[in-house]
Amino acid sequence: MWDDISDRLVESQKIVFVTGAGISQESGIPTFRGKDGLWRKYDPMKLATIDAFYEDPKLVWEWYEERRNNILNAKPNAGHVTIAELEKYRKVSVLTQNIDGLHQRAGSKNVYELHGSIVIIKCTVCDFRDKITSGFSALPPLCRCGNMLRPDVVWFGEALPQDVWESAMVEASTCDTMIIVGTSLAVSPANLLPVYAKQNGATMIEVNIEETQMSSQMDLSLREPAAKALPEILGIISSGKNG
Ligand code: BV8
Ligand code: ZN
């Protein structure tokens, strides 16, 4: 299993990663559906929605402020750092569902944030939008125009940013290798990206501590934590070179 995949990794030219909450789990950021998951305390399906925000903006903001604090104190782990390192050997793009910015902080250059970013804050009415890493004194915070501010994330029921989604589809359809890391692939349309890669004949590799709904479609499933499995993949590529 590994030999064939190692050869393909050595021959690979362009690697596209699709990442989810699992890659940030080892940075201390709870996943959505895991046992430590956010789902346990709150129901993101209820809170990460525009209705919840307008129904109870304070509650939704308390949830985001708690996550912002956790994320701003978190550090990229070996999984994020390895993906950034791989750019020395291959053309790499990262299509992430995460809103924590850890791929960029690890040094990845080509990151597409499919679901937005928790550190970018925008106004619900005017075109104010800025990176804000400090806490807010009052929740919900108000814009200078008097309207509520919100995190620049994609809520359930909201469309993904058009330009980001279009680029992500192109990346997924033009890679020879896709590595899917730490995502249950439960959320659409992000979970279509592996389908596009497979249709394009890419080598499909999954890194996940559990089985996912696409495990049977993978050429290789590594049942290991991302911080352990990704350095193994880097080792094969860096010693095999090519590319
Ligand atoms: C859209 C930002 C259309 C916010 C997120 C029925 C009713 C209502 C809606 C729908 C429905 N059916 C389908 C939908 C659409 C909906 C959807 O997919 N719902 C699902 C849940 C059924 N999708 C949408 O609404 C999307 N928009 O469709 O718009 C449209 C079109 C045009 C015009 C208008 C509208 C928007 C989806 C984006 C939602 N926002 N995040 C926030 O974060 O607060 S999604 C949220 O879930 C996160 O982004 C997260 O990344 C994502 C997916 O979860 P995962 O990343 O996979 O995380 P999860 O915990 O599930 O899994 C972690 C995995 O890691 C596990 O497999 C675990 O085993 C593994 N793991 C754990 N530790 C490790 C590990 N692996 C390796 N190493 C480890 N150490
Ligand atoms: Zn405003």
Ligand 2 centroid distance, CA of 129 (Å): 9
- Is the domain defined by 30-73+117-153 classed in CATH 3.30.1600.10? yes
Helix (H) or strand (E) holding 167: helix 162-173
Report every protein residue that has its C-beta within 5 angstroms of ion ligand 2.
Answer: 123, 126, 128, 143, 145, 147
Q: Which range among 3-12, 64-73, 121-130 shows the weakest confidence by mean pLDDT?
A: 3-12
CA-based radius of gyration for the chain: 18
- The closest residue, in CA terms, to atom 80 on ligand 1 is 225
Q: Which of 80, 115, 122, 150 is catalytic?
A: 115
Tens of pLDDT, residue by residue over 124-144, are 999 999 999 999 999 999 999
158 lines ligand 1 (CB under 6 A): yes
User: Greater confidence, 52 or 44?
Assistant: 52
Looking at every residue in the chain, the average pLDDT score rounds to 94
With a 6 Å cutoff on the Cβ, whether 226 touches ligand 1 is yes
Classified as helix, coil or strand, 227 is helix
Report which DSSP code applies to 134. Answer: S
Q: Tell me the mean pLDDT in the region 41-67.
A: 91
Q: Would the CB of 27 count as within 6 Å of ligand 1?
A: no
CATH T-level fold of 1-29+76-115+160-243: Rossmann fold (3.40.50)
For residues 120, 83, 13 and 206, what is the CA-based torsion angle, rounded to 10 degrees? -100
Average pLDDT on 28-43 reads 73
**190 vs 137, which has greater pLDDT?**
190
Q: Establish whether 115 is a catalytic residue.
A: yes
pLDDT digits (tens, 9 = 90+) for 142-183: 999 999 999 999 999 999 999 999 999 999 999 999 999 999
pLDDT of residue 42: 74
Q: Is 26 in the pocket of ligand 1 (CB under 6 A)?
A: yes
Separation of alpha carbons 231 and 82, rounded Å:
6
pLDDT at 243: 63
Pick from 174, 180, 130, 125: nearest CA to 151: 130
- Give backbone dihedrals phi and psi of 88, rounded to 5 degrees, phi first: -75, -20
Length of the chain: 243
Whether the link from the prior residue into 189 is cis, omega within 30° of 0, is yes
Q: Are 133 and 72 in contact (CB under 8 A)?
A: yes
Sketch the domain layout of the chain as residue ranges: 1-29+76-115+160-243, 30-73+117-153
Give the model's pLDDT for residue 39: 57
